[in-house]
Amino acid sequence: MTAIAHNENRVVRLFFYSSITWLLIGMTIGLILAIKYVWPNFLVWGEFLQKYLSYGRIRPAHTHVVLFGWLSMAYAGGLFYIIPQLTRKSLEHPRLAHAIGILWNIYIVAAIVTLSMGYTTTIEYAESTWPLDVYLIVLVAGAAYICFKTIAKRNESQLYVSLWYFMGSLIWLPFLYIIGNIVTYFITGIPQALAGWFYGHNVIGLWFTTVGVGFIYYLLPLLSKNPLYSHKLSLIGFWTIATFYVWNGPHHLQNGPIPAWLMKAGVIPSVLLIIPVWTVLANVFGTMKGKWHMISENVPLKFVVTGAIFYLITCLQGPFQSLMQPSAILKFTNWIIGHAHMPLFGAFSFVLFALFYHALPSLTGRKIYSDTLMNWHFWLSIIGFLIFAFTTWTAGVMQGFAWTEGKQYGVPFLEVVVSLQPFAIARAIGGTLMFIGQIVFAYNVRRSIKDGQLLSVEEKSTSTA
C-alpha cells in the first residue's frame, strides 16, 4: 500500500474535518428536536426563533445535516483516502476534489438556511429545493469521476471487494438522487410517493449501507491483522444486495395508500436482504476468529465490530417490521425512529469513527492524542444510543397498541401523547450522552492534530499498511 500523497492528504483532511463539524451541528439540532418533544416551547423566544426553529422546519435540517453533511462528507473523504491505498495510485484531480469539498460545505449551509426559511419539497430526505439538488448532483458526479479515474489507472490488478462496493455506490447514487429529487417534481400523488421511497430506501441501501460495508471490509483485516475470511462470500454479498435492494421502496408505504399486492411484494425482498447481511457478518466473525481478545485494547476495532453487529440487528428488525401485521402496529410510531438511528448512528457512524481513528495518524503524522478519550467516546456513544434506542422502541410499541386499541376503547389521542413523556425525557438524556461522546471525539481529534505524539519514521511507513 502507498504512503498518502500530500495533495490527497489535504483533500481527505478537508472532508474529514468538515464532516466532524457537521456531526456536532446535526446532533445539536437533533437534541433541540428531542427537547421540543418534552418542552414544546423550547427556544421559542420571539417571533423570529419561533418561526425559523419550529419543529417542522428543523427536522429536515437535522436529517440533511447528519445524512449529507456528516455521513456523506465523511464517506467521500473515506473514498478519497481508501481508493488510492487499494489501487496503489495517487488520487486523480486532487484540486478538483478539494474544490468539491468546499462547494459541498456551501450546499449544507444553503440547505439549512432554506429549510429553516420554510422552502421544502416535503419529500423525506429530498426536502431541499431543486436548484440545490442540481448543485449536489454535479458535486457527486464530480466525486464519482475522480474515484473511477483513479481506479481505472490503478497499479494493482486485483479489485479488492471494497472497491466493488464503492464503484457500485458511486454509480447508483447520482441516479437515485435524480429520481428522488428531480423526477418527483414532475409527478404527483401515489406515483410520487413510490418514486420518493424508491429513492429514500435506495439511498439508504445503495449508498449509506454499501459504502459503509466497503469500509468494514477495508478496516477489519487491517485492524484485526487477519486476512479476510472469504472474498467469494463478500462478492456474493455485493451482487445480492445489488439485486434485492431496489425492490424495497414499497415497504415504506406498508399499510399505506398503495395497492395491497405491492405492499405484499415489498415484504419478499425485505426478507431476502438477510442474505447479503449474513455474508457481511459471516465474514466479520470469520475474520475475527482468534482475534476477539484484541477488542479490549483496540478501540477502532471495537467500533467497527460493534458497528457490524448493529448492522445485523437493524437487518433482523427491518424484515420483521416490513411484515403487514407488525407494520400495522409500528408504522408512524417512535419505533421507526429507533430503527433509523441504529444503522445510521450505531452501525455506520461507528464504522466511520474507526476509520477516522485509523486514518488520522497517516494524515497528520501524529498519534491519536488519548486512548482514554477514545474509550470515553465509545462508551458515551453506545450507552447514550442504547438509551435512545430502547426508549424509542418501547414508546413505539406502546404508541402503536394505544392507537389501535384506543380506537376500540375510545382512548383520546392526547392521552397517548402525555403517557409518552417519560420516554421523550429518556430519549433526550440518551441523545445528550451521544452528543457529549461526539464532543469528546472532536476534542480528541483536535488535540491529536496539535499535540499528538509524532510518529517515528518506521511508524509512518506502516501507518497505512
Binding site for ligand HEM (CB under 6 A): 27, 30-31, 33-34, 59, 62-63, 66, 70, 124, 204, 208-209, 251-252, 254, 270, 273, 277, 314-315, 318-319, 321-322, 327, 331, 336-337, 339-341, 343-345, 349, 427-428, 431, 434-435
User: Could you give the dihedral angle defined by the CA atoms of residues 43, 126, 349 and 151, in that order, rounded to the nearest 10 degrees?
Assistant: -150
- CA–CA gap between residue 296 and residue 317 (Å, rounded): 28
Provide the minimum distance between the beta carbon of 94 and ligand HEM in the complex, in angstroms, as a whole number.
28
Of 68 and 107, nearer to ligand HEM (C-beta) is 68
Bridge partner residues of 366 (DSSP) = 454
In the complex with ligand HEM, the residue whose CB is nearer, 295 or 336, is 336
What is the signed CA dihedral for 373, 378, 381, 386, rounded to 10 degrees?
A: -150
Question: C-beta of 17: minimal distance to ligand HEM in Å?
Answer: 16
Burial 87-119 (b: 16+ CB within 10 A, else e): bebbbbbbeebbebbeebbebbebbbebbbeee
Distance CA 27, CA 63 (A): 10
In the DSSP assignment, the letter for residue 121 is -
Which residues make Cβ contacts (< 8 Å) with residue 187, sequence separation at least 6?
195
Radius of gyration of the chain measured on its C-alpha atoms: 22
Quote the least distance from Cβ 5 to ligand HEM, whole Å: 30
Residue 302 Cβ vs ligand HEM, minimum distance, rounded to whole Å: 18
Nearest of 168, 304, 167, 137 to residue 226 by alpha carbon? 304
- Reading phi first (left if > 0) and then psi (alpha if -120 to 50, else beta), residue 88 is in left
Minimum Å distance from CB 441 to ligand HEM?
11
The residue (of 41 and 296) whose beta carbon lies closer to ligand HEM is: 41
Closer residue to ligand HEM in complex, CB, 151/354: 354
Helix, coil or strand: residue 124: coil
Considering the complex, state which of residue 292 and residue 320 has its C-beta at the smaller distance from ligand HEM.
Answer: 320
- Cβ(162)–Cβ(189) under 8 Å? no
Minimum distance from residue 264 beta carbon to ligand HEM (Å) = 13
Smallest distance from ligand HEM to CB 59, Å:
5
Q: What are phi and psi of 157, to 5 degrees?
A: -70, -35
Q: Shortest distance, CB of residue 196 to ligand HEM, whole angstroms?
A: 10
Closer residue to ligand HEM, CB minimum distance, 126 or 151: 126
In terms of CB distance, is 27 or 299 closer to ligand HEM?
27
User: Is the distance from CB of 234 to CB of 217 less than 8 angstroms?
Assistant: yes
For ligand HEM, give the closer residue by CB, 146 or 428.
Answer: 428
Closest to ligand HEM by CB, 27 vs 363, is: 27
| Cα gap 310→312, rounded to integer Å | 5
Taking CA atoms, 68 is separated from 126, 131, 136, 203, 246, in Å, by 11, 16, 10, 11, 21
Kindly state the smallest distance separating residue 387's Cβ from ligand HEM, in Å: 10
Nearer to ligand HEM, 89 or 207 (CB): 207
Helical (H) or strand (E) element with 190 = helix 189-203
Closest distance of CB 371 from ligand HEM, Å: 23
